[in-house]
Chains A and B, each alone.
Chain A
Amino acid sequence: MSAATTYATRKARRPQHISIQIVLALALVYFLVPFWWVIVASSKDAAGLFGGTSALWFSDRIVWADNFRKLFTYDGGMFGRWLLNSALYAVVGGVGATTLAVLAGYGFAKYRFKGRRFSFSVLLGTVMVPATALVIPTFILFSQFGITNTRWAVILPTLLNPFGVYLMHVYTRDAVPDELLDAARVDGAGEMRTFLQIALPLMRPAVVTVLLLTVVQSWNNYFLPKAMLIDNRLYPVTVGINQWQNIASGNNAGTTSLWSLIILGSLVSVIPLIIAFLSLQRYWQGGLSIGSLK
C-alpha cells in the first residue's frame, strides 16, 4: 500500500474513528462503573454506605486505612488466610492443571498411538460437561474417602481441564514441527528430553495462556469449595466473602458492620488477578485465539 493511499484513506476514516471512539468510551463507562463503585464504597464506613451519601462519590469520611485494618484483623485475620488459600488453590491447581494439559496436549499432538482419536473425541465431548454437575457426586465420593473438608478436596478436581488439553493440542500440532522432533530423536535424544528442550520452548505462548486461564478459574472457583468445605479456615476468598455477606444480612456480627469489610475485601480479592492479567497481556491476548482458528 503506497504512502499516498494510506494517508488519504486515513484522513477519510478520521470522523468515523471519532464516533466509534465515543461509543467505545460509553462502553468503557458501563464496564468500569462497578469497579469505580467498589473503590468508592470501600472507602466508606457503615454510616457512609447506608446513610444516603451519593453512591458514586466519596462521603466526607474516607476510612480506607481503618477499613483495611479491620479487614485484616477481623476474626483473627481470617481474610488474610482466605487470600492465602485462594492463592494456594489457584497456583497449585493452575500449575497442576497446566502441567497435565501440556503433557497430554503434547502427547495427543505428536504421537500417533492406538485409541488416540477416540480418546480425543471423548475429551472434547467432556468439555461440555458442566463442572457443577460433577460436584455432588464428587462430594459423596470424597466423603467416602474422608477427604471432604480438606484442601485436597478443592485442588484435586481443579486439576481437570479438558479445554486446556485441547488448546495445547491445537497449538502444539502446528507450532512444533515434526521434523525438529525427528531430528532430535535421530541425534539420540530421549523422548522426555526432546519434549523439554525442543518442544516446550516452542509451546510457551499456549502454556502461559492455559496457565493463566486455569489460575483464573481456580481463583474464582465458588461452587466446588462451598460444597466441599465446612471449616472456614480453608475457605478461598470467594466463599469467605459470601459467608460474611450471609452473616451481615442476618446481622449476627454483633456491633461490627461487616459490609465495609465485605466491599473492601471484594476489591482486594480482585486486585491480584487484575495485576496478573495486566502483566501477562502479551500472552493471553493472542493465546485465546488459538482455539478458534482452523
Chain B
Amino acid sequence: MTAPLTRVSTEAAPGVKPSRGPRKEPLRRQVTGWLFVAPFALVFLAFLVAPLVYALYLSLFRNALIGGTSFAFLDNYVRAFHDPNFLDGAWLVIRFSLVLIPLQMAISLVIALMLDGIKNWFTRFSRLTIFLPYAVPVVIGALMWGFMYSRRFGPLTQIFDIFGASAPDFLSKNLVFAGLLNIVTWQWAGYYMIILFAALQAIDPTLYEAARIDGAGSVTIALRIKIPLIAPALVLILVFALIGTLQFFNEPSILLKLAAGSITPHFTPNMYAYDLAFGRGSFNYGSAISFTLAAVVFVCVYIFMFTTRKRGNFLS
C-alpha cells in the first residue's frame, strides 16, 4: 500500500502532464478512451444531466390548485428568494455549517493526530471504532439518538442525575440545533478522521526526526509540520462537509416525528423541497427550490475552492 503513496510524493507538480510520447494520440486510441468512459458517461447523462435539465424545465412552470400548469419563467426563483420558509431554512443550514464544520474538523484532526503519534493495539482499535458510526445508516443513527435524547427513556437523564443536574432536552426548539450537531458529528467524525489519518501516515517520518533534532516538541511538530502537509486533505473534507451540510435532510426529517414542535417541514431547504414535492404535490416549485439549493452549494463550494487553491486542492 505504501508504494504508490511514496511515488505520488515524488511525482511532478500537479497539473503538469509528464511528456509520454506524441501529444496527439492515434484516433483508434482516442476512440478506445471514449469507449472506456462511455458506460459511465451514459449513466451520467441519464441520471444527472437529464434530471438536472428536467428540473430546470419544471422550475420554469407553475402548477396551481386553481389554474393548473402555466409557464412562469423565473417566477418560482423570485418567489424562492422571498419565501421565508426557504430563506429561514437556508440561513439555518449556513449557520449549521459555520458551527459544524470547524467543530468536526477540529475533532477529526485532533483524534487523527493523537492516533498518528502512537502505534499500539489500542489506537488501532480506536481507529476502527471511531470510524464505525459511518457504517450506520443515517436513518438508524438519527433514530438511535432520538431515543437517547428522550428525557424519559434515554440515558441522559440518568447520567445528569448523577451530577444532580437536569438533563437538557435536545429535542426542544432551543437545543435541537445542538442535538442535530451532535448526531452529525458522531456519525461523520470517524470518516474524516480516517482520511486525515491516512494523509498523516503518508508524511515522510524523517521530517519528524529532523525537527526533533532541532528541538521541536510533539505539539510544535503537529502544528508546523503535520498540519501544513495535510492541508489538501483538510480542504477535501471541508468541501465534503460543506456539501453535505448545506444539503442537510436525513437527520432532521427523521427527528421531525419525535420533535414536531421543534422541527418544521421546511427546517432545511432540502426538506422544504421534499415537502413541496411529495407532501403538497408542488413539483414545479419544489424543483425550483432544489435547483436553487444545488446552485447555492455549487457557488459556495467553488468560492471555497477558489480561496484555498494555493493550499492545494483536488481540482487539478
Contact = CB atoms under 8 A, between A and B. Distances in A.
B139 interface: yes
Contacts of A159: 43, 47
Nearest to A249: B257
A238 B239 CA distance: 26
**Listed residue (B209, B250, B283) with the most chain A CB atoms within 10 angstroms of its CB:** B250
A8 to B, nearest CB: 11
B143 A262 contact: yes
- Classify chain A's interface size: 35 or more
B111 interface: yes
A293 B40 contact: no
B114 A20 contact: yes
B17 to A, nearest CB: 8
A170 B4 CA distance: 11
Nearest to B132: A274
A156 interface: yes
A138 B155 contact: no
Say whether chain B's binding surface is mostly helix, strand, loop, or mixed.
Answer: helix
Contact of B145 (A17, A34, A174, A220): A34
A55 interface: yes
A106 interface: yes
A294 interface: yes
Contacts of B243: 128, 130
A66 to B, nearest CB: 20
A237 B140 CA distance: 10
Given A50-B153, A111-B25, A288-B195, A119 B37 contact: yes
Interface in A80-112: 99-101, 103-104, 106-108, 110-112
Given A24-B123, A31-B130, 6 more contacts: A1-B209, A37-B144, A38-B144, A50-B153, A55-B158, A137-B290
Interface of B: 1, 4-5, 7-9, 11, 14, 20-21, 23, 25, 29-37, 39-41, 43-44, 46-48, 50-52, 54-55, 58, 111, 114-115, 117-118, 122-123, 126-141, 143-145, 147-148, 152-155, 158, 186, 189-190, 194-195, 197-199, 201-202, 209, 212, 218, 230, 232-233, 236-237, 239, 243, 246-247, 249-250, 254, 257-258, 270, 273-274, 277-278, 283, 286-287, 290-291, 293-294, 297-298, 301-302, 312, 314-316
Interface of A: 1, 9, 13, 16-17, 20-21, 23-24, 27-28, 30-35, 37-38, 41, 49-50, 52, 54-56, 99-101, 103-104, 106-108, 110-114, 116, 119, 123-126, 128-134, 136-141, 156-157, 159-160, 162, 165-166, 170-171, 174-175, 178, 182, 191, 195, 205, 216, 219-220, 222-223, 227, 237-239, 241-242, 245-246, 249, 262-263, 266, 269-270, 273-274, 276-278, 281-282, 284-286, 288-289, 291-294
